[in-house]
Structure 1
Amino acid sequence: MKNEALKDLFGDSWYSRIKFDGITGRYLTISDIELVNESFEKYFEITEIGRSVQERPVYMYKLGSGKIKVLAWSQMHGNESTTTKAVVDLLNAFKEDVSNEVFSLILKSCSLYIIPMLNPDGAQEYTRVNANLVDLNRDLQNLSQPESRILKMQYDLIGPDFCLNLHDQRTIFSAGNKPKPATLSFLTPSKDKERSIDGFRKKSMGLIAGIAEDLKAQLPEQIGRYDDAFNINCAGDTFQNLSTPTLLFEAGHFPDDYEREAVRKYVFRALLSCLYQIASRNDPGSNYEDYFKIPENQKLFNDIIIRNVEVDSELKDVSIQFKEILLDAKIEFQPVIEKIAKNIEKFGHREVDGGRRKLRLLGEEKVVENVIVNKIFLNTAELQVKYG
């Protein structure tokens, strides 16, 4: 670990103590944030900074008194809640362990402005977009939506020295071309079409490289990097274009963790690493070249691959991808056949050897792509493919 001061804070027993157990799972709404507010209102400055399309409140937390200003926001996409859980864990850590030298330094050096849920309408419906069906992360130039305007207004008012843009990614991503899921991914967005690397962008690259170094022992070969193609409509590209070092965090998949309760722990540690570096490093960009050592993400995973099964009298592989469905205030992972082929050259988070047995569905239903599969049989033996 590069930052030895973080070593004790990266232990599982310590994390279990500060983890905020009041919110769990994938489905988080503004009601959860208001529950968090009740727990923290005596400790932090909490402000309603605007309202969504459907008049739900958007809150911002302010903590710390330092000169370095950091603006962070989560759930810009309503169905991406893992980083919200990690942010709440971070707030709880500041509340429970404020005397720790790491937290003391961060609060002394930095002023943190945290928006835990920018898109409460999308969160309510568990959708990427807002109530007007607009992707807020493509609206930072048009500013057509109230939530986009809220974020840009806070950016203008605060004048942050760093921005942290917090998201989730799908289970399909690998860290490079190896059978390792991208449990965490990062990006320092481009500031122009030429993908120029100036001093501001070097700072965000150096911070990401530092995070990867701090977490590499816990997530060996499970940290990826996104392509930096420029899109000025995105929040990160907009703020980087305005010479604010911006880091995109993406919470991905950890084995058998579809509720992303393990991943929230690693996002928490990544946030802690980032903030400690911001507070303690005089030149965050000094190691920026290490950023390019992080492997680029590739789309090499399916949730399940059943190999070597008979379909239409031929031996084939069958890949299944879960579709996330909101049902009774809970996320269901609906198995859908994505591909049937002689050799699927992807990795499965779960791989099943079919042993040349015949794959069939319930009744006489034909095995085809793009169908929901509630039950699968290999000859007469039922194969459980539904998660949970």
Structure 2
Amino acid sequence: MSGMITEVGPAGRGEMDACVRIGALAPLSRPGWDEAGRHLLAGMELAVREVNDAGGIAGRPLELVVRDTAADPHRAAAAVDELARLGVAALAGEYHSVVARAAATRADALGLPFLCSSAVLDALTEQPTPWVARLAPAQSHGWRIYADFLLAAGHRRIAVAAQPSVYWASGVRVLRDHLAPRGGTVTEIDMRESTPASVCDALVEGHATALLLLVGHPEPAVSVVRSVRGDPRLAEILIGAPAGQPEFAAWAASLGDAGAGVPFLRYLPERLGPLGTRVGTALRERLAEAPSFVSFEGYDTVAVLAEVLRSHGTDRARIAESWASVSVEGTRGRIRFSRTPDIGVRQWMGAPVQVVDRDPARPGRFRVLRSVPGYAGHRPG
């Protein structure tokens, strides 16, 4: 894999000093969501190539030092330690929230700047930290938008098929807190004790009108979708996947037409501007398939870090101090970071949020069902 560095010995120190290095974390193997990791890395690598084509960082080439987290928090924390020893100026990336939380905690302890690309868990760190910033919208924001979509579509009896995870539990809490005052209910189906057939029975017994998949992909998500789609008792039920499983080609390949009409969250604007359009074309060529929102997040992460490195140099403390003054045109809008209540890291408040599904008439095409351009009343600071 391009950018994959496994060891740098003393003989390579001069070459290292000639480069500016960013540590890149991504799930590139199972049980991680490796398709998301591949898209994330493609976006970061494209941005690095463009930075270097434009002269690098003050004449020095920019280079990624890539580590595969494989969705393992312990592996991610160890990677952060290693990357810090290798002298990277900053960390970038990660998709899985629980893994990103482990990386952010370790980066905070080491004083290593970390720009998180895709993880949305609100509590990315237990305490406020100056070292971490994030591009993806906080889960509480995106999932409330998803809950409003459900209410507008007439769904108030919601069932969730959930696996144990801090991320899934946080999502259930957001949904329940937002839906309950508006007359909605959320019933959990514990997938540790359920089969796809028993999920169907629970949906019928509970008179649910929507089932949300808070589970891993491909399994058990694919088996649950097939079972629900094949049950005539559930012909009218909505299947949803707020975490974004249907975004990727593997979902369509596994489920075909059965995977259409499953709304999910995506972090793209309704229309890309000139930069986003150009980057999207390059990403499609690089991936040999349609780029996901995750690949745009990867590109934007490196674009922000490159601008910070040009303006503030490679000193880690100065990089962290710069989060408050960042203003970079990204593929999905101008990126600035703010402090927000109850979130301990600096947050891009202007990230667009969509609820999207695959069109049942053409599963290869996405339909935008709801679109929010950014947080209302955003003020950088």
Taking structure 2 as the reference length, the TM-score comes to: 0.34
Query: Which protein has the bigger helix share?
Result: 2
Larger Rg: 1
Query: Which protein has the bigger strand share?
Result: 1
